[in-house]
A and B are shown apart, each in its own frame.
Chain A
Amino acid sequence: MSALVTAEALVTVADLGIATRGDAVVQLVRGVSFAVAEGERLGVVGESGSGKTITALAITGLLPGAMTVTGSIDLAGTQVVGAPEGRLRPVRGRDVAMVFQEPLTALDPLMRVGRQVAEPLRRHRHLRGAALDGAVRAALEEVALPSDERILRAFPHELSGGQRQRIALAMALACNPRLLIADEPTTALDVTVQAEILDLVARVVAERRMALLFVTHDIGVIVRVATRLIVMRGGEIVEEGPADEVIRHPRHPYTRTLVDGARLLDRALDRGHLGGGGISS
């Protein structure tokens, strides 16, 4: 697999291997190498268990303790593999931030969302008092949420799924990271909200010239945000290339099935029937 290592690579993953520890060692990821350039938008596609999420998590150095990591991950000059907690903490938030699949579990259920957004702001930008309050409101407006008391004083369960994911995104963006990792951020949302969140992610990343690592199982979603694709299966990269090319001329049979699947669904939706029962409201 040819790793596109350029001079301005923000993240360089080389020969990454992840295995479970214990009696039965299971190799979850093997020989994964790729790079994300500054400002580049990379999509990682694969089915459940293909190793895409733990690969993304490994970049933040936050894999569960029961896993062994081999190989090398260079994140903006910091070697993540084997690094002690103390060296990674300043990197997290500043160089990399993450948005998770299920925003309800990624937010503290007992903390008002205004305070949750304020947490990373006060830590990374050292804001207090009125300045902090203003920054929280600005952060909400950037993710297209009304910055009124109604939202600020709400608990996560009082918001809709889309609003929650916007809050999670605002928290990730608060520290202005150079790389944003989005792990299936739209999977838990319904389709119309999905599109809004995707557009929002694409817009914010472009505005801030941030690099994006977008992890998903849905090839239909990824073409909206990523310019380059990696296709993973069984813990290995099976195909890599510019998004257009991978989708138009998939070389690996697995990629072809993914693309065909997405096309079939699209066509069925266009014709307005699924299965034969039709779509009724």
Chain B
Amino acid sequence: MSTARPRRRLPATLVLGIVLLSLAAGLALLSLVWLPFELSDTSGGRLEGPSARHLLGTDTFGRDLFSWTMVGTRIALLIGAGAATIALVLGLAVGLLAAFAPGWLDDATSSFLDVLIAFPTLLLAMLVVAVRSPSTTSALLSIGIASSAVVARLSRILAKRVLNEQFVTAARTSGTSWPRIVLVHLLPNMWQTLVVNIALLFGIAVITEAGLSYLGLGVPPPNASLGRLLQEAQATVLSAPLGAIAPGVVIVVIVLGANMLADGLRAHFDPALARNR
């Protein structure tokens, strides 16, 4: 046996994913301390092209597109991260409960989750927004809750698989309590798969938020949203394509980054995959 564990090289997809997400995060963080123009500033000309003053040009109202894209990025990341957190906490709780529940309750929960998953996330989010009013909180909650069904189903399966392992029986023969088994054996054996899926969910949440905002059901004005920027630029896409390209590229960068991060994490965790790389 060898204990010399040489640090494995990080998968390229993981590094690239982190770089892409860091770019978006950097833009979002910068928007907190510095913006080229206030969002309400309409001093620019209508649909100006890129210039030293307006890096990405202006929109129909003469507002600086770069500033709007920066704030939109921040809100997209915020909603993505918030929704992923809600999905993880809620989904993990429901999944663990189902895994430990008696047969009939487990079956009922699973069927309910299957129905929930069968609904498109966007449709579920629209329902929630229709009941509440469109707001950042509504978008966050609806996307988070809708995504938690996927996490719950995954957590349940993972938990059941680990609980069937012999090392759990071995731990129980020495008198380990259930809470201790969950903490010490169950969660550590689940989290790798969970983290990969949460990274994927983060990307999906960002797309869903953009979709909701595009339909006017997401983040309401005066906040910026990448989805609404796309929608507003739609009418003038031929004369001022940057208005659609800029938020579009940011969405692609975030989602691609999240997917590569997930893919890279999976490769990093799985030694079998790493060997074949």
**Residues from chain A with Cβ under 8 Å of B171 in the complex:** 108, 119
Q: Bound complex: CA of A154 vs CA of B4, how far in Å?
A: 10
Q: Which of A98, A107, A109, A154 contacts B173 (CB 8 A)?
A: A98
**Residues from chain B with Cβ under 8 Å of A174 in the complex:** 174
Q: Does B189 have its Cβ within 8 Å of any Cβ on chain A?
A: yes
Q: Does A233 have its Cβ within 8 Å of any Cβ on chain B?
A: no
Q: Bound complex: CA of A181 vs CA of B174, how far in Å?
A: 12
**Known pairs A154-B3, A158-B3; A109 contacts B174 (CB<8 A):** no
Q: Hey, what's the 0/1 contact readout for B155-187 against A, CB within 8 Å counting as 1?
A: 000000000011101111111110010001100
Q: Does B2 have its Cβ within 8 Å of any Cβ on chain A?
A: yes
Q: Does A159 have its Cβ within 8 Å of any Cβ on chain B?
A: yes
Question: Quick check: A106 and B170 within 8 Å, CB to CB?
Answer: yes
Name B192's closest neighbour in chain A (CB-CB). Answer: A110
> Could you say which of B169, B170, B189 has the most chain A C-beta atoms within 10 Å of its C-beta?
B170
Name B103's closest neighbour in chain A (CB-CB). Answer: A65
> Could you say which of B1, B2, B189 has the most chain A C-beta atoms within 10 Å of its C-beta?
B1
**What range describes how many residues of A lie at the interface?**
35 or more
Question: Quick check: B175 and A62 within 8 Å, CB to CB?
Answer: no
**Residues from chain A with Cβ under 8 Å of B184 in the complex:** 108, 111, 119
Name B186's closest neighbour in chain A (CB-CB). Answer: A108
Q: Does A124 have its Cβ within 8 Å of any Cβ on chain B?
A: yes
Q: Which of A108, A149, A159 contacts B167 (CB 8 A)?
A: A108
Sampled A-B contacts (7; CB under 8 Å): A92-B174, A100-B166, A105-B166, A106-B170, A119-B174, A120-B175, A154-B3
* Residues of A bordering B, CB below 8 Å: 60, 62, 89-94, 96-98, 100, 102, 105-111, 119-120, 123-124, 149-150, 153-154, 158-160, 163, 168, 171-172, 174-175, 181
* Residues of B bordering A, CB below 8 Å: 1-3, 165-167, 169-177, 180, 184-185, 188-189
